[in-house]
Amino acid sequence: MDLSSFPRISLARLPTPIEPLKRLSAHLGGPQIYVKRDDETGLGLGGNKLRKLEFLLGEALARGADRVLTVGALQSNHARQTAAACAKLGLACELILRRSSHATEAYLQNGNMLLDRLFGARVTVIEAGASREAAMAERADVLRAEGRTPYCIPVGGSCARGNLGYAACAEELSAQARELGVRFNAVIVATGSGGTQGGLVAGLHAIDSDIRVIGIAVEGARAGQEALAYHQAVETAGLLTGDVRVPRDRILVLDDYAGPGYAKPTDAMREALRLAASLEGLVLDPVYTGKAFSGMIGLVRAGYFRTDEPVLFLHTGGAPGLFAYPENA
């Protein structure tokens, strides 16, 4: 896979390791569960968005941008990693974050919000229901009128260029699997804005790998989330190879573990947090990886995988968000 034609800047500590979760696998009675530690990408306490930001901020610098804008929820992991990356690169960063009904002091002040401030980002909070994209476009217009050159990043960094980070990750994990002598039949990942899953699918398709990617929705119904992830995969494949013929059946998103909605807790998520921590010393977050891990556990218990089948969980990070929801621990 040739990514040399795309502007890119090194931000993440790569490759991230793949580790066996032996105690969890034994506790569940199989299959062989492994974790890819994209929570250990390094900068700004790590996470999956750094892979996307390597390409997004690479393009921003190539365009001569002097200010980066992005959007998210109040406790956005993507916003936190964007702020950290901009601090490292000397780029001004503005975050437009949408408030939710969750209004505890920890949610409003701790976790990612605390880190956003430490990284020096300008944070604008808008009310629930307001359009983040419209607010970002309006702010970008103001900056241009002032003679600045803003670069806007969509929610989650999920767009064809950002998703190249996970197309590259597909090649990385395939190479690691060969080195380990393990043939992963499935990769399980949290799906929200769809870019991580879409990028993985596009990358695996490009290298002719038959590894299944199973997305666990953190919000929304299956049909909508699959359509979103498929759109991301097609757009990424088109940018990557010029070929948008990604088979539709390569996209699978399960919505059984999303619960009542985004950042809304479930008992299964709380169990997943406890099992990962107490059996493996692995820290998950309650919004993304906690729900995705609960989905993996649910699938194992339902007999979805053979007991001798190696399964890979992609840990996308987000641990700072745990401190915004101490009631879920």
Residue type, 162: G
Exposure of 217 by Cβ count < 10 A (0-12 exposed, 13-18 middle, 19+ buried)?
buried
Alpha carbons 270 and 289: distance in angstroms, whole number: 11
Tokens of 228: 């979103």
Burial 55-82 (b: 16+ CB within 10 A, else e): bbbbbbbeeebbbbbbbbbbbbbbbbbb
Q: Would you name the residues annotated as active-site residues?
A: 76
Strand pairing category for 212-217 and 122-126: unpaired
C-alpha pair distances (Å), 14 with each of 40, 50, 119, 201: 9, 10, 22, 20
Distance, CA of 48 to CA of 68 (rounded, Å): 19
The full DSSP string for 284-324 is: --TTTHHHHHHHHHHHHHTT-S-TT-EEEEEE---GGGGGG
Q: What would you measure as the largest C-alpha separation in the chain, in angstroms? A: 61
Contact 105, 69 (CB under 8 A): no
